[in-house]
Amino acid sequence: MSEFDVTRADTRRTRGLVAFASLALSAGLLAALMLGGEPRSEAASTEAMSLAMAAPTDPANIVPVQDVDVEAAPRVLSAADLARVNDAAFTECRTCATRIQIERIVPRGGTMAGLLDDAGVDRVEAARAIAALGTVFDLRYLNIGERINLYFGADAAADGGEAATRFEGLSFRPDIERSITVARTFDDTFRARETIAEFDREMVRASGSITASLYVDALAAGATDRVVNELASVLAYAIDFQRSIQPGDEFDILFERFVDEEGHTARTGDILYAMYDGRGDAKEFFRYETEDGIVGYYSPEGASAQRLLMLTPVNGARLSSSFSRARRHPILGYTRRHNGTDFAAPTGTPVMAAGNGVVERADRYGSFGNYVRIRHANGYQTAYAHLNGFARGIRAGSRVTQGQVIAYVGTTGRSTGPHLHYEVHHNGTPRNPMTLDLPTGRQLSEDEIPLFEAERDRIIAIRNAARPAADTDTPIVADAGNGAQ
């Protein structure tokens, strides 16, 4: 927000009054000369200037120019003198405010009322401004870290007193598409305005081969942080990102992109199609929304991409020890069965629930140290050991959802370093989570398959016609945390 409407109106009105005063003064002096009258004295000349300026408006609003050298000045003011008169109407005006803009950031647990109070805004004024804001924006959705611009008018001091400031309004952008403004109006009330930006929707395609990593290569192909993260969630049940990705693997992503009138990417939308081909084993998934509004990703045959359990419940980890029937224990020194998979990761790395379920225990458990066990559907259980600590609310009886953070990597119990020990049991029997053929998520009914196939074919046609996402002369903005990308 550059300035308020009421300020622009006041500025135009003031300039018009000054122009009228200047013309009146010039006409008066010219008439005096033509009539052959005597030149006015210094006092008379100054008085005429003052009266001419004050005539159209309240004398308190315009201050006579005090620094004009009247003795040396000609009887008819020059263009330079008129310019000084015009300038004085703004620089020496007693009531014309000087705009002061400050920025405040919403802290954790902060409110708009608290933010305005901290900035010194009168509580009555703040309440009026907040009431106006409430007509266009629900303050319950004010985000932590939101940048709020506050505007104040600084009035010139009168008779040697202190200058006064007055709250004029505020502005902020709750997301990339909206701008919110609250401004003081001419009658000292506040008015809120919401401006909505319009963007053009386009379908673009990011594809390529792995040379460095999926993240780096997908960005180079025109994807964004948000798109890559969503891609990882789509493929999380089919690909082990810690071990399966190899140079030469191929990927293909079709996604929505919204651009402004200058062609700049404002944000990205949904992924409609995702493909990953590792060593000839291509995984393809299509976005499909069922008639009851459930969105999911399905294979070309209609099988759900989602599985009962995630392959790995921790991101960015390194496989340090595999499931084995015989392994030399690093501490005990003798060979024993290893019923789980170990993932080395820094202390504090979030550990996620591998699937929906109920926590059976979350406490200290012998050599496992801090330990969580979850009961899932179809006779499956997962266990997580050597944890540094538990996430808030995780206790026996708690319900958890797939991907929810339940604990953090540590080295408690019998452990040689920070890592996650992860186990999967089916009907009480330990199973290798890396080779387990897990049940899929929701299956499409026979009646839904024709509708899905029609949507799949439509997406394929869009994919084949879409232009590469990297074919643009404008920058692609990375995710800022406000839903932009």
Lowest mean pLDDT, pick from 27-41, 140-154, 249-263, 384-398: 27-41
Res 452: pLDDT: 95
Res 208: pLDDT: 93
Measuring CA to CA, which residue among 40, 43, 15 is closest to residue 29?
Answer: 40
* Higher pLDDT pick, 225 / 370: 370
**204-215 pLDDT per residue, tens:** 999 999 998 888
Res 381: pLDDT: 94
Tell me the longest C-alpha to C-alpha distance in the chain: 123
- Residue 162's pLDDT band (cuts 50, 70, 90): low
**374-407 pLDDT per residue, tens:** 999 889 999 999 999 999 999 999 999 888 899 9
Give yes or no for residue 333 having a pLDDT over 50. Answer: no
State the DSSP code for 377.
G
* Higher pLDDT pick, 250 / 77: 250
- Residue 455's pLDDT band (cuts 50, 70, 90): very high
Res 264: pLDDT: 74
Q: What count of Cα atoms within 13 Å lies in the side-chain half-sphere of residue 101?
A: 10
How far is C-alpha 177 from the chain's CA centre? 11
Contact 150, 105 (CB under 8 A): no
> Which own/partner contact pairs does 274-279 have at CB distance under 8 Å and 24+ positions apart?
274/231, 274/234, 274/235, 275/250, 275/251, 276/235, 276/238, 276/239, 276/249, 276/250, 276/251, 277/249, 277/250, 277/251, 278/239, 278/244, 278/245, 278/246, 278/249, 279/246, 279/249
Burial bucket for residue 306 (CB in 10 Å: 0-12, 13-18, 19+): buried
Tell me the pairing of strands 164-175 and 147-155: antiparallel
Q: Rounded distance, CA 352 to CA 355, Å? A: 9
Res 31: pLDDT: 52
Q: Rounded distance, CA 268 to CA 253, Å? A: 12
Average pLDDT, the chain: 75
Task: Supply the pTM of this predicted model.
Answer: 0.52
Res 378: pLDDT: 86
**422-437 pLDDT per residue, tens:** 999 999 888 887 777 7
Q: Rounded distance, CA 241 to CA 228, Å? A: 12
Q: What are phi and psi of 24, to 5 degrees?
A: -65, -45
Q: What is the H or E stretch that residue 424 is in?
A: strand 419-426
Mean pLDDT to the nearest integer, 211-227: 89
Mean pLDDT to the nearest integer, 74-83: 35
For 339-359, give the DSSP string.
-SEEEE--TT-EEE-SSSEEE
Q: What count of Cα atoms within 13 Å lies in the side-chain half-sphere of residue 54?
A: 13
Q: Rounded distance, CA 64 to CA 45, Å? A: 12
For 287-330, give the DSSP string.
EEE-TTS-EEEE-TTS-BS-BSS-S-SSTT-EEEE--EEEEE-T
- Residue 54's pLDDT band (cuts 50, 70, 90): very low
Tell me the pairing of strands 419-426 and 399-400: unpaired
Lowest mean pLDDT, pick from 70-84, 302-316, 469-483: 70-84
Tell me the pairing of strands 350-352 and 405-409: antiparallel
Res 160: pLDDT: 54
- Residue 130's pLDDT band (cuts 50, 70, 90): very high
Measuring CA to CA, which residue among 178, 149, 145, 143 is closest to residue 266?
Answer: 178
Tell me the pairing of strands 164-175 and 341-344: unpaired
Res 272: pLDDT: 95
Contact 484, 267 (CB under 8 A): yes
**244-272 pLDDT per residue, tens:** 778 899 999 999 988 877 677 778 889 99
Lowest mean pLDDT, pick from 83-92, 231-240, 390-399: 83-92
Give yes or no for residue 128 having a pLDDT over 80. Answer: yes
Res 161: pLDDT: 54
Res 268: pLDDT: 85
State the DSSP code for 143.
P
Res 405: pLDDT: 92
Res 97: pLDDT: 55
Q: Which domains does the chain have, with CATH numbers?
A: 5-91 (no CATH), 98-196 (3.10.450.350), 201-306+442-485 (3.10.450.350), 318-431 (2.70.70.10)
